[in-house]
Structure 1
Amino acid sequence: MHQEAFLPARRTPACAAPQPVTLTQAEPVPAAQDHSTTTTERGSFCLARCTCGWSGPARRSRDLARTDAERHRTGT
């Protein structure tokens, strides 16, 4: 006969304090010649991406995604 393993439910104490969030300084954006930005579409959203690994927020407006890419590329 097969017996199911019993796993107790995980419980978080009701009085558990939230953990502090440590914010770090954003790394400076390298020179513009190190960046090549493009826009890509995912369903009804468009987002900007860069060769450095940066990715902008998903936008419904292609124009806003292009603006995000330009701001990233110029460092503004």
Structure 2
Amino acid sequence: MHEPADAPPPAPHENHHTRTTDQGRFSIARCNCGWTGPARRARSKAREDANAHTQARNPT
């Protein structure tokens, strides 16, 4: 599930910033780059999706 981003995607040198949102019974991880994780019933799973995306995309 991908939704258009409110802002342009970050430049390659910029960090990705994720957040989780609730929609009904589901939590969804979203990033400022436009990435959207799968809908999860558990907020902890949505946070895990967000953390995995951030760690894979942000330079260390």
TM-score of the aligned structures, taking structure 1 as reference length: 0.56
Report whether the alignment pairs 1:49 with 2:37.
no
Partner of 2:39: 58
CA drift of 1:37 comes to 0.3
**Counterpart of 2:53 in 1: which secondary structure?**
helix
How far apart in 2 are the matches of 1:41 and 1:71?
19
**Counterpart of 2:48 in 1: which secondary structure?**
helix
Query: Is the CA contact (8 Å cut-off) linking 1:34 and 1:52 kept in structure 2?
Result: no
CA drift of 1:42 comes to 0.3
Please, which runs of 5 or more residues in structure 1 have no aligned partner? 1-29
Higher relative contact order (CA 8 A, sep 6+): 2
Compare CA radii of gyration and give the structure with the larger one: 1
Partner of 2:7: none
Aligned residues: 46
Please, which runs of 5 or more residues in structure 2 have no aligned partner? 1-11
Partner of 1:35: 16
**Which 4+ stretches in 1 moved above 6 angstroms?**
none
Larger relative strand fraction? 2
TM-score of the aligned structures, taking structure 2 as reference length: 0.70
The alignment yields a C-alpha RMSD, in angstroms, of: 1.7
| Percent identity (aligned) | 52
